[in-house]
Amino acid sequence: MKDNGIIEITFHGRGGQTAITASQLLAQLAYEESFKDAIAIPIIGAERRGAPIQAFTKLSRNKIIKTYDSVTNPNYMLIFDPTLLDIPRILETIKSGVTLLINTKHPIDTCEFPENIKIFIVDATGICINLGFMHSSGPILNIPMLGAFGQITKFYNLDTLKKVIYSEFGEERGKKNLEVAIEAYNSVKEVELI
């Protein structure tokens, strides 16, 4: 957490991967867990499907958030597509002290990362494919990424996730969303840094 008491999260994805929706759902999850304030800040432009996109969420347990600017030194980064780590401007935002959650089933080359970071991986794409959680352009990654994020941060639990999912998507669609979230929650792993 920053010295100002605000927890800052950056979402890096590609158009169509639902990273912006994830940032908004995270704010709802925080409110359900009695955070004092939570704001989602989408960066929406002329991006098309597959183009790199960003979104931000700021959370505070004890104060009102008065800044709506983008996040430049996040506490957490959720990487929806590991190929985004090949983009220098994204790689440069990974600073000492950050915790990364990366959607991948492959080993991560950590040699370009700074010291004093934590890295977690979850195969959100594989979970979506295996459980048929797809839309026309591919896997719906927001829910498994948020499931994994809840596990690593303990900001919310599966009961809170279920409440928000059912509220947002209804009970019928919510069941599949929750199944995907639970799978990611239980399968996220920390990467050992050498």
Q: What whole-number distance in Å separates Cα of residue 47 and Cα of residue 28?
A: 25
pLDDT at 101: 97
The residue with tokens 């995907």 is 180
Tokens representing 40?
């989602």
What is the block-wise mean pLDDT of the chain (194 residues), using blocks of 10 residues?
79 87 95 94 69 90 87 92 90 92 91 90 96 88 97 96 95 94 97 81
Cα of first residue to Cα of last residue in the chain, in angstroms, is 25
Q: What whole-number distance in Å separates Cα of residue 103 and Cα of residue 78?
A: 8
Compute the residue count for the chain.
Answer: 194
- Per-residue model confidence as pLDDT tens digits over 31-78: 999 999 999 988 766 556 667 889 999 999 999 998 888 888 899 999
Domains of the chain (ranges plus CATH)? 6-190 (3.40.920.10)
pLDDT at 2: 53
Strands annotated E in the chain: 6-14, 37-42, 52-60, 76-79, 99-103, 118-122, 134-135, 138-139, 189-190
Q: What whole-number distance in Å separates Cα of residue 140 and Cα of residue 19?
A: 9
56 backbone dihedrals φ, ψ, rounded to 5°: -135, 150
pLDDT at 177: 95
